[in-house]
């Protein structure tokens, strides 16, 4: 979320910038400003009452030590009113703070100045394209047909064991998945990311910290018995590693990577987009996360984008990098690039990565800060993350684009990890 200070100190600027996300913030900001000034007044009143109460209590202590019991008793009588005031101010302050947080949480993140305006994916800007389109015959098969023909991914079996959206990878597909994971992790470590194996269940505080709670509650699987959430992305546990931390400036950027399964309920998305591997409830992903100095976070965003691009290039997939317009960006992001690869039999661009700078939107929630080398001042860090990469759609594109009359070719970086370079029919 945005910090209250940002909002109250630059109300018109915030409102102006949020229009790029098609968000009318004017009245909300007015309300926030009003509540915040009431909050400050209440805080001052509460502090004064508490100071007075502390003074009396100390005095009582002194009376007792001096054996002045009568004075002590008289002083005690003074406290009932002040205690009542403290309770009342405390209640009111808590209410205002709760309301303030609720309202601030409704405001999306401010888009970076380089974010283009727009409403739909059609307004996104293609910033780079690469790779070459495969030339497939008319009889080219979509990946779900190929998977059936080679008997390597079993969607029906997943239905039996769990339900729709939980495919079972078999034989060479299972091995290919493992090769992809290893490839992505090896590359990330080579690029300076520290490999982490985090928990895939997180508590409420963590889900709140990265912004899944409260607004995306319905997107996560919830284990009610223990009040834990299955992660929708490794971003959640990785970023929360730093929750409530103060990092020395010279340790920035911190760079982490992780492979995890990801779980998404995807409530409300049905239809042809969910065909095959295109949209799943459980999928595998390697994620990169960076905790960056505000002064260099956009350089880091470009560096992460360049890194992810190198992966797609090594896999030989045709791709394009989109700069998302204000209306198509996520609520939490300041700037996002999406990576899409072309899946040649479906003739579709599939999103395989999303790289974002959240600036202080997450660090505000989780009190994630850094300490300046000079002056020792403390400020919020910028958090960034990106998929590097999400497996199912990469697999879909690999299967479709590399199909030949004999079978499905495996690109070199994966073949050397699989021990085979073709999945035969």
Nearer to RNA, 34 or 117 (CB): 34
Nearer to RNA, 103 or 389 (CB): 103
Nearer to RNA, 50 or 177 (CB): 50
Mention every residue, 6+ apart, whose C-beta is less than 8 A from residue 424.
150, 406, 407
At 391, is the secondary structure helix, strand, or coil? helix
- Report the greatest alpha carbon distance in the chain: 102
Task: Report 79-118 residues binding RNA (CB under 7 A).
Answer: 79, 83
Segment interacting with RNA (CB under 7 A) among 12-20, 182-190, 364-372, 413-421? 364-372
Could you identify the residue written with the tokens 């994971």? 181
Q: How far is the CB of 283 from RNA (least distance, A)?
A: 24
Q: How far is the CB of 186 from RNA (least distance, A)?
A: 26
Count the residues of the shown chain that bind RNA, applying the rule CB under 7 A: 27
Task: Report 228-257 residues binding RNA (CB under 7 A).
Answer: 246
Q: How far is the CB of 257 from RNA (least distance, A)?
A: 24
Nearer to RNA, 56 or 168 (CB): 56
Nearer to RNA, 66 or 195 (CB): 66
Tell me the β-bridge partners of 284: 261
Nearer to RNA, 49 or 124 (CB): 49
Q: Measured between alpha carbons, how far is residue 55 from residues 5, 46, 69, 88, 107 in Å?
A: 32, 14, 17, 19, 42
User: Could you give the CA distance from residue 385 to residue 197 in angstroms, rounded to a whole number?
Assistant: 16
Tell me the β-bridge partners of 286: 259
Task: Report 189-218 residues binding RNA (CB under 7 A).
Answer: none
Nearer to RNA, 60 or 152 (CB): 60
Q: How far is the CB of 152 from RNA (least distance, A)?
A: 27
259, two tokens:
């492979």
Task: Report 136-195 residues binding RNA (CB under 7 A).
Answer: none
Q: Is the peptide bond before 214 cis (omega within 30 degrees of 0)?
A: yes
Segment interacting with RNA (CB under 7 A) among 102-110, 133-141, 186-194, 367-375? 367-375
Nearer to RNA, 104 or 288 (CB): 104
In degrees, rounded to 5, the angle at the alpha carbon of residue 65 between the alpha carbons of residues 62 and 70 is 75
Q: How far is the CB of 260 from RNA (least distance, A)?
A: 17
Could you identify the residue written with the tokens 């590359």? 187
Q: Of 397, 391, 401, which Cα lies nearest the Cα of 176?
A: 391
Give the dihedral sign, CA 385/244/206/283: positive
Nearer to RNA, 65 or 272 (CB): 65
User: Could you give the CA distance from residue 281 to residue 211 in angstroms, rounded to a whole number?
Assistant: 20
Q: How far is the CB of 269 from RNA (least distance, A)?
A: 34
User: Could you give the CA distance from residue 391 to residue 393 in angstroms, rounded to a whole number?
Assistant: 6
Task: Report 27-86 residues binding RNA (CB under 7 A).
Answer: 40, 43-44, 46-48, 50-51, 53-58, 60-62, 64, 76, 79, 83
Q: How far is the CB of 149 from RNA (least distance, A)?
A: 35
Q: What is the DSSP string of 284-332?
A: EEEEEEEEE-TTTHHHHHHHHHHHHHHHHHHTT--EEEEEPPGGGS-TT
Q: How far is the CB of 79 from RNA (least distance, A)?
A: 4
Q: How far is the CB of 369 from RNA (least distance, A)?
A: 6
Beta carbons of 395 and 335 less than 8 angstroms apart: no
Contact string 370-409 vs RNA (x = CB under 7 A): -x----x-x-------------------------------
Residues that bind RNA (CB under 7 A): 40, 43-44, 46-48, 50-51, 53-58, 60-62, 64, 76, 79, 83, 246, 367, 369, 371, 376, 378
């Amino acid at each position: 979320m945005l910090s209250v200070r940002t909002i109250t100190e630059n109300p018109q600027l915030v409102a102006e910038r949020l229009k790029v996300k098609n968000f009318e913030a004017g009245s909300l900001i007015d309300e926030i400003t009003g509540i915040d000034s009431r909050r400050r007044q209440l805080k001052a009143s509460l502090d004064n009452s508490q100071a007075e109460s502390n003074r009396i209590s100390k005095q009582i202590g002194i009376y007792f030590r001096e054996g002045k019991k009568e004075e002590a008793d008289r002083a005690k009588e003074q406290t009932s009113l002040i205690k009542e005031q403290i309770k009342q101010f405390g209640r009111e302050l808590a209410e205002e703070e709760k309301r303030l947080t609720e309202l601030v949480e409704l405001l999306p993140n401010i888009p970076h100045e380089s974010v283009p305006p727009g409403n739909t994916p059609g307004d996104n800007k293609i910033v780079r394209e690469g790779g070459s389109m495969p030339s497939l015959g008319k009889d080219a098969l979509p990946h779900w047909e190929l998977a059936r023909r080679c008997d390597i991914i079993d969607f029906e079996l997943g239905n039996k064991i769990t339900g729709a959206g939980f495919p079972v990878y078999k034989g060479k597909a299972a091995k290919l998945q493992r090769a992809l994971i290893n490839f992505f992790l090896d590359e990330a470590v080579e690029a300076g990311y520290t490999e982490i194996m985090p928990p895939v269940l997180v508590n409420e505080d963590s889900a709140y910290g990265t912004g899944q709670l409260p607004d995306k509650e319905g997107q996560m699987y919830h284990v009610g018995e223990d009040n834990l959430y299955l992660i929708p992305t490794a971003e959640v546990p990785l970023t929360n590693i730093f929750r409530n931390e103060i990092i020395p400036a010279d340790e920035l950027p911190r760079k982490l990577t992780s492979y995890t399964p990801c779980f998404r309920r995807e409530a409300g998305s049905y239809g042809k987009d969910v065909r095959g591997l295109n949209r799943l409830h459980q999928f595998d992903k390697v994620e990169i996360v960076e905790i960056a100095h505000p002064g260099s976070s956009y350089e880091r965003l470009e560096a992460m984008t360049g890194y992810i691009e190198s992966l797609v290039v090594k896999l030989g997939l045709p791709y394009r990098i989109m700069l998302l317009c204000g209306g198509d960006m996520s609520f939490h992001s300041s700037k996002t690039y999406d990576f899409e690869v072309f899946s040649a039999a479906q003739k579709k661009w599939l999103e395989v990565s999303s790289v974002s700078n959240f600036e202080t939107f997450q660090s505000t929630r989780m009190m994630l800060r850094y300490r300046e080398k000079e002056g020792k001042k403390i400020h919020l860090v910028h958090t960034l993350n990106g998929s590097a990469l999400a497996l199912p759609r990469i697999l879909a594109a690999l299967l479709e684009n590399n199909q030949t009359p004999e079978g499905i070719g495996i690109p070199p970086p994966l073949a050397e990890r699989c021990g085979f370079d073709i999945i035969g029919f």
